[in-house]
Amino acid sequence: MFKRPLTQIIAHRGSKGTRPENTLSAFQAAIDAGADGIETDVQLTRDHQLVIMHDERVDRTTDGTGYLKDFTLAELKDLDAGHFFSPEYAGTPVPTLDEVIQLLIRNDFQGVFNLELKTNKIPYPGIEQRLAGYFQRQSVPFRVVFSSFRAKSLITLRALYPEAEYAKLFKTAGQQARRMQRRHQVGALHPDIHWVKANRFWLPHVQLRPWTVNNEADMTYCFRHHFAGMFTDYPARAVAVRAEIQGES
């Protein structure tokens, strides 16, 4: 009897709901929770180092102020990326891309690693070349998926590194995303969960990985529709809900 594959649970910025986002602690917690995937965000420092942070400015998640692009890696490493979440995590550093990759390798992680290029507001010239070069040098035991709101970044990187998978992020621009899929510029679509629920006519036609799915009702919605995956800040919670609806693997 045919059994549908489980909807993949991808930890959004790690276990963002229970740890300081985009830190090694958040990624380790997501692995320990049984997440099928890790999602995170990559940007470039002033000295062209690949680092992990969601916002273009450091203000919200560190004790610093200003644009990440204006910091060197050494200056960024002096910031506290944990205290904003809880005093328990004071002194947590901003990780580099390589530090995250090495953590996953040490854990023998074999799921999905979704790396979002944060180029829709600041283009970070050369970031695609640096990412392609990094993954050409560093073999990994997991699937790499690159995503972005900026179509040009995905097209550029795909030409340089076709071995990875590519996905278009969008909040409302569904037509552009679908056009990219038809042209085989991306293989997957990553829409806002609110957009998905407002555009139900898409559901029979494409496999989606919606974001950010945090409450039990939205998790249930994704699991009942057997989406390819979903992004959540609470991977442990999602694992429990999935077991109730889709069963165990």
Neighbours of 32 (CB within 10 A): 12
Per the annotation, the verdict on 54 as an active-site residue is yes
Angle (deg, nearest 10), helices 216-224 and 235-246: 40
Annotated active-site residue in 54, 83, 190, 226: 54
| Residue 191 burial by Cβ neighbours in a 10 Å radius (0-12, 13-18, 19+) | buried
Of 227, 176, 237, 248, nearest to 15 by C-alpha is: 237
Local structure of 208: helix, strand or coil: strand
Tokens read off for 49: 């180092």
Q: What is the DSSP pairing of strand 112-117 with strand 50-52?
A: unpaired
Of 32, 29, 34, 33, nearest to 14 by C-alpha is: 29
Per the annotation, the verdict on 184 as an active-site residue is no
Under DSSP, the state recorded for 94 is P
Compute the distance between CA of residue 14 and CA of residue 23 in angstroms, rounded to an integer.
7
Compute the distance between CA of residue 46 and CA of residue 90 in angstroms, rounded to an integer.
25
Q: Residue 78: CA atoms inside 13 Å, Cβ hemisphere, count?
A: 6
Q: Cite the active site residues.
A: 12, 54
